[in-house]
């Protein structure tokens, strides 16, 4: 039984139509079908946060989301975060400045998570940032710098 269906996804403000089986996850749709490889696959089971994207403005894991399930929702990936003219989001700029990454593989997920963390109002103290960023593993161990970057960006976003 292979049941291809056509689905329509709105990603970074653009519409895409795809012919996929219902079992295809949003993550594999992005990476294997749409050449949007900024969203990373670290575990494929909700255990690492590398695949974090925004759906209707909230951070979620693309590896446990079926592509079909998010038809009609607004999807934002790391590729859609900077302004159309290439202006970096405050969080992106802070990550660069604070050296909040090394290998860079967890980084798109960290940044998407951080943007949402600030938006949710969960970036009020270093401890709160640590807790609310705990769903994004970083094996390079950039954590202290990530906290610094989120703290910095949170202040910039407010002011």
Partner 1 sequence: MTVHNIRHADSRHGDASDGAVGGRLSRVDGPAKITGAAKYAFEQQLDGLAHAVMVEATIAAGTVRAIDTRAAETTPGVLLVLTPDTIMEIKGASDWLGNPPTQKTYSPLARTVTYSGQHIAAVVAETFEQAVAAAALIEVSYDETPAIVDLSDPKAGDGIPIDAMTKEWGDAEAAFAAAPVRICAAYNTQREYQAAMEPHGLIARWQGEELTIWEPSQWLDGMARTYAEWFGVPFENVRLVSPYIGGGFGSKALALAHSAVAAASAKMLGRPVKLVLTRPQNFTSYGGRAATRQTVTIGAGRDGKIQSIVHRGVNETAVDGMWVEPLASVTSIMYATPNFSSKQNVVRVNTVVPGAKRAPGENPSAFGIECAIDELAHEVGIDPLEIRLRNYAEQDPEAKKAWSTRQLREAFASGAERFGWSKRSPKPRSMRDGHQLIGWGVAAGTYPVRRAYGEAIVRILADGSVEVESSSIDMGQGTYTILAQTAAETVGVAADDVVVKLGDSRYARAGVAGGSRLAGVMTGAVYKAATSALDQLVGLAISDPRSPFHALQANTLVVANGRLRSPRGDGPDVSIAELLASVGRDRIEAAGDTMPANSTAEDRYKNYTTIATSIPHTEGNYSRHSWCAHFIEVRVDEDFGTVRVSRVVSALDSGRLYNPKLAESQWKGGIIMGIGQALLEEGIVDRRHGRIVNNNLADYLVPTNADIPDIEVISVGIPDLHSSVLGGKGVGELAIVGVAPAIANAVFHATGKRVRDLPITLEKLI
Partner 2 sequence: MRDFSYVRANSIEAARKAAALPGAMLLAGGTTLVDLAKCGVAQPETVVDITHLKGLDTISVDASHATLGALAKMSHVADHAGIKSHFPAVSEALWQAASAQLRNMATVGGNLMQRTRCPYFRDPSNFSACNKREPGSGCSAIGGVTRGHAVLGTSQACIAMYPGDLATALVAFDATVHLGQRVLKVDDFFLLPGDTPEREHDIRAGEMITAIEIPGSAAARRSTYLKVRDRQSYEFAAARAAVGLELEADGRTIRDLRVALGGVATKPWRARAVEEALKGKVLDEDTVRKASGLAMEGAVDHGANHYKIELAPRVVARAILKLGETA
Helix (H) or strand (E) holding 53: strand 52-55
- Told to check if 47 binds ligand FAD by CB under 6 A, we report yes
Structure tokens at 13: 């403000």
> What does the alpha-carbon distance between residue 129 and residue 57 come to, in Å, rounded to a whole number?
19
Q: Which residue has the tokens 């709160």?
A: 128
Please tell me the count of residues contacting partner 2 according to CB under 8 A: 37
Strand partners, 12: none
Binding part of the chain for partner 2, among 10-18, 45-53, 77-85, 96-104 by CB under 8 A, reads 45-53
Structure tokens at 88: 């970096």
154 contacts which partner out of partner 1, ligand FES, partner 2, none, CB within 5 to 8 A by kind? none
Among 39, 65, 92, 152, binds partner 2 (CB under 8 A): 65
> What does the alpha-carbon distance between residue 37 and residue 58 come to, in Å, rounded to a whole number?
20
> What does the alpha-carbon distance between residue 81 and residue 57 come to, in Å, rounded to a whole number?
12
Quick note: the x/- pattern for partner 2 over 118-137, rule CB under 8 A, is --x-x-------xxxxxxxx
Residues within window 64-83 making contact with ligand FES, judged by CB under 6 A: none
> What does the alpha-carbon distance between residue 118 and residue 81 come to, in Å, rounded to a whole number?
14
Write down the least CB distance from residue 15 to partner 1, Å.
19
**Beta-sheet strand order (sheet of 74-76):** 14-20, 5-11, 74-76, 52-55, 58-61
Residues that bind partner 2 (CB under 8 A): 1-3, 5, 21-23, 25, 44-46, 49, 52, 58-61, 63-66, 68-69, 72, 113, 116-117, 120, 122, 130-137
Residues that bind ligand FAD (CB under 6 A): 46-47
Residues that bind partner 1 (CB under 8 A): 2, 21, 23-24, 28, 31-32, 35-48, 50, 77-79, 81-82, 88, 92, 95-97, 99, 101-108, 111, 126, 129-131, 133-147
């Amino acid at each position: 039984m292979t049941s291809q269906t056509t689905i329509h996804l709105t990603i970074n403000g653009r519409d895409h139509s795809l012919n996929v089986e219902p079992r295809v996850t949003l993550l594999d749709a992005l990476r294997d079908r749409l050449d949007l490889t900024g969203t990373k696959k670290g575990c494929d089971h909700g255990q690492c946060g590398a695949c974090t994207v925004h759906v209707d403005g909230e951070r979620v894991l693309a590896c446990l989301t079926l592509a079909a399930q998010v038809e009609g929702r607004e999807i934002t990936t790391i590729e859609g975060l900077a302004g159309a003219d290439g202006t970096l989001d405050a969080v992106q700029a802070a990550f660069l400045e604070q050296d909040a990454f090394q290998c860079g593989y967890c980084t798109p997920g960290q940044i998407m998570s951080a943007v949402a963390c600030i938006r949710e109002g969960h970036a009020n103290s270093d401890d709160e940032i640590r807790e609310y960023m705990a769903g994004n593993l970083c094996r390079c161990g950039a954590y202290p710098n990530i906290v610094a970057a989120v703290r910095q960006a949170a202040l910039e976003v407010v002011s």
